[in-house]
């Protein structure tokens, strides 16, 4: 990418929960923008979205939409990425893709800017934004990597907004129905595309995304495979359980990590405190620890409940929280764009 | 306890969430009852509770209330148990105590009837009902103990009813306030008795009960210590994280267990299926697995998401759910009473 005073940016999927936050984040960060083009499917084209005091029109995306674009932020699903990313790259754009389409492609950097920004040095036009639940885990684990990461056991508490704006609306509707009638008829949780539906309001569902043949969900395997790629630890052991909870915004993760060497909570707390964009909230005596509503609307990752395993000084337990739509998606993508600008 | 055709039963704490379910469960099980005395604090005395078509009065508990009682079911908190349990025993009653007061007393059996009913053979008048989150874990782990239980890593998803009826009402009020005003002012979560309060509606709080000096909560240490006592495995490694979620009824647990020998999911599923009062719900291809609303109102424990750890054939992951007020409290206590009757 050529160095410039300001850049021509496109956001594909601009009307979605993540796309809207990409636009907001570009504005909040005062990103050096010459022009901003908002793109979506035919269904959403014609809407407008506020940016720097103007209502920008949302256009239907075509291959030619990317003509003259420097950086394109994609958040429109894997199929759409596979259609448009090569077209955008062909026209000279760098694509930061929030879908799963290219994450495990060996030619595509999978980037958490606090963790592996060096991998941006030799991209081939496409850069992948990791999955939301992976990103916040990476920010925390990276801070402790000097102790030798061996085995990560993780159980997640994931917000419905990870399924998009429709799921946010659906949880509100389930709660309203329950208030009015005492019953809930779910049609979207845990997954709109399958036959079996369960209430999500006042319920916990151990299914995020589809099941794979090995009995794990796609979300769980993302935690395994993306963590290994980002940390460059192909043999890292990851034991994941991904669970959807009736929270609107903010994923939480209960994490147990075994290290090659013993690590005390004090040392871990010090390393976490030094890490970029990681906030330590860990005062049990004052009942202070991270929770989703603390993270909502922020770009930071929060860590607390840091304690040694009772039986194994090589293992630490802690609790990690971040806003899944910001650090888990939109903000991480804009951070990558900022890194690209720095490197141009 | 003397063998009789029917027994004189007392329920202490009869107006609480668990106490009411003890009365309902005694009726539903057609327990051989000669007389039922309902006891509570002065504040709750004077209320009536339905039993077998009659409205029974709730009396203020005194030491003499237990005169002539055969079995007393206690669910009125640890302090009240410590006051009244010795008085009840002195008057010839057997006490089944749902509080934490006596659980770790070496002279008191801590009983999950599916797991260690033999410990009822030499009680000294008091029998302890384990903590809700422990009971359902025990039912599942016991089914696999032949493989050598070594290390249990557990993250919980606990319903607010574990904090009593007030917390159920408070969550309903938080949701109503949020619907009406978009904001939530919490005064009871995660713990009424502390200064720091956070919303529980649409939020996840990694604190159940008070924090101890080691950085773990009391709830987490109950999982460790009670599991070891019930399973008679004093060296069992348990790594617990207890988290409160916005669910009314039903605790869920994400569990990873390392065994002395390799165990396949098929073998585990077969052992679970043979276990008493344990229901296997485990068909990923049909999106079938346990969730709290499945367990609500039942006395069973449900297990699913059974899979091998990706890196370690000695480790299994699974998801366990039960109604915390029934199997986790009232039903387990009545089961103990039924065992006492069988043994009389």
Asked whether the beta carbons of residue A204 and residue B245 sit closer than 8 angstroms, the reply is: yes
pLDDT tens column, B42-70: 999 999 999 999 999 999 999 999 999 99
Topology adopted by domain A135-324? Dihydrodipicolinate Reductase; domain 2 (3.30.360)
The pLDDT tens digits for B68-127 are 999 999 999 999 999 999 999 999 999 999 999 999 999 999 999 999 999 999 999 999
Q: For chain B, give the longest Cα–Cα distance.
A: 60
How big is the A-B interface in CB pairs under 8 Å?
171
What residues of B are labeled active site? 132, 251
From residue A205, how far is each of A136, A197, A243, A340, B336 by CA, in Å?
21, 10, 6, 38, 31
pLDDT surpassing 90 at residue A152:
yes
**Average of pLDDT values for B173-188?**
92
Give me the mean pLDDT over the B19-35 stretch.
Answer: 98
Mean pLDDT throughout A227-245?
98
Q: Is A161 annotated as a binding residue?
A: yes
Contact (Cβ atoms closer than 8 angstroms) between residue B9 and residue B51: no
Locate B255 and state its tokens: 């569990």
Model confidence band, residue A108 (pLDDT cutoffs 50, 70, 90)? very high
pLDDT of residue B304: 98
Q: What is the pLDDT of residues A258-282, one digit of tens each?
A: 999 999 999 999 999 999 999 999 9
Tell me whether 0.95 is exceeded by the ipTM.
Answer: yes
CA–CA gap between residue A174 and residue A191 (Å, rounded): 15
Catalytic residue among A132, A142, A208, A314: A132
**Is the pLDDT at B188 greater than 90, yes or no?**
yes
Q: CA–CA separation, A69 vs A340, rounded Å?
A: 14
Beta carbons within 10 angstroms of residue A333's beta carbon = 28
Distance from CA of B224 to the nearest CA of A (A): 9
Quick check: is A132 catalytic?
yes
Q: Choose from A264, A291, A306, A324 for mutation: most chain B CBs within 10 A.
A: A291
Strands A33-40 and A48-51: unpaired
Average pLDDT, integer, range B169-183: 94
Q: Which pLDDT belongs to residue A252?
A: 98
- Tell which residue, B252, B47, B241, B308, has the closest CA to residue B140: B252
Across the range A47-71, mean pLDDT stands at: 98
Residues in chain B, total: 344
Quote the distance between the C-alpha of residue A47 and its chain's center.
Answer: 25
Which CATH topology does B7-130+329-343 take?
Rossmann fold (3.40.50)
Residue B1 pLDDT: 84
Beta bridge partners, B285, equal none
Interatomic CA distance for residues A43 and B301, integer angstroms: 46
Instruction: Report whether A296 contacts A276 (CB < 8 A).
Output: no
Nearest-CA residue of chain A relative to B295?
Answer: A203
Q: How many CB atoms lie within 10 A of CB A124?
A: 11
How does residue B326 score in pLDDT terms, banded at 50, 70 and 90? very high
Give the per-residue pLDDT at A131. Answer: 98
CA gap A309, A287 in Å, rounded: 20
Average per-residue pLDDT for chain A: 97
What pLDDT, in 10s, does the model give residues B110-120?
999 999 999 99
Contacts of B239 in chain A (CB under 8 A): 256, 309-312, 315, 317
Q: pLDDT band at B196, cuts 50/70/90?
A: very high
| pLDDT tens, residue by residue, A313-344 | 999 999 999 999 999 999 999 999 999 999 99
- pLDDT confidence band for A311 (50 / 70 / 90): confident
DSSP annotation of B295 reads H
Separation in Å, CA of A328 to nearest CA in chain B: 17
Q: Where in chain A is the domain with CATH 3.30.360.10?
A: 135-324
Residue in A with minimal Cα distance to B184: A293
Mean pLDDT of chain B: 97
Res. A1: pLDDT tops 90: no
* Mean pLDDT along residues A198-219: 98
- Which pLDDT belongs to residue A293? 97
- The average pLDDT across B164-190 equals 94
CATH 3.40.50.720-classified regions of chain B: 7-130+329-343
pLDDT at B311: 87
Angle of CA points A300, B214, A302, to nearest 5°: 5
């Amino acid at each position: 990418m050529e160095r410039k005073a300001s850049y021509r940016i496109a956001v594909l999927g601009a009307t979605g929960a993540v796309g809207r936050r990409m636009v907001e984040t570009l504005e909040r960060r005062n990103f050096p923008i010459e022009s901003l083009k908002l793109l979506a499917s035919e269904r959403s084209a014609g809407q407008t979205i506020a940016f720097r005091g103007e209502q920008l029109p949302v256009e239907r995306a075509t291959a030619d939409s990317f003509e003259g674009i420097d950086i394109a932020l994609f958040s429109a699903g894997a199929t759409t990425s596979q259609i448009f990313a090569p077209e955008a790259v062909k026209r000279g754009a760098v694509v930061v893709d929030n879908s799963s389409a290219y994450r495990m492609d060996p030619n595509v950097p999978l980037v958490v800017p606090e963790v592996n920004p060096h991998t941006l040095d030799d991209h081939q036009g496409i850069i992948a934004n990791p999955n939301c639940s992976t990103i916040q885990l990476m920010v925390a684990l990276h801070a402790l990597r000097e102790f030798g990461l061996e085995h990560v056991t993780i159980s997640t508490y994931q917000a419905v907004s990870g399924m998009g704006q429709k799921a946010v609306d659906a949880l509100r509707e389930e709660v309203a129905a329950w208030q009015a009638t005492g019953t809930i008829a779910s049609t979207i949780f845990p997954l709109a595309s399958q036959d079996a539906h369960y209430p999500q309001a006042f319920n916990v569902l151990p299914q995020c995304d589809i099941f794979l043949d090995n009995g794990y969900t796609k979300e769980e395997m993302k935690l395994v495979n993306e963590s290994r790629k980002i940390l460059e630890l192909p043999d890292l052991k990851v034991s994941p359980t991904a669970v959807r909870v009736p929270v609107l915004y903010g994923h939480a993760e209960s994490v147990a990590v075994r290290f090659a060497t013993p690590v005390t909570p004090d040392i871990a707390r010090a390393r976490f405190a030094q890490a970029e964009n990681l906030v330590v909230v860990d005062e049990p005596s004052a009942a202070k620890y991270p929770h989703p509503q603390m993270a909502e609307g922020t770009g930071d990752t929060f860590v607390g409940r840091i304690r040694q395993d009772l039986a194994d000084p090589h293992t630490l337990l802690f609790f990690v929280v971040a806003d899944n739509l910001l650090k888990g998606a939109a903000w991480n993508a804009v951070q990558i764009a900022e890194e690209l600008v720095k490197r141009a």
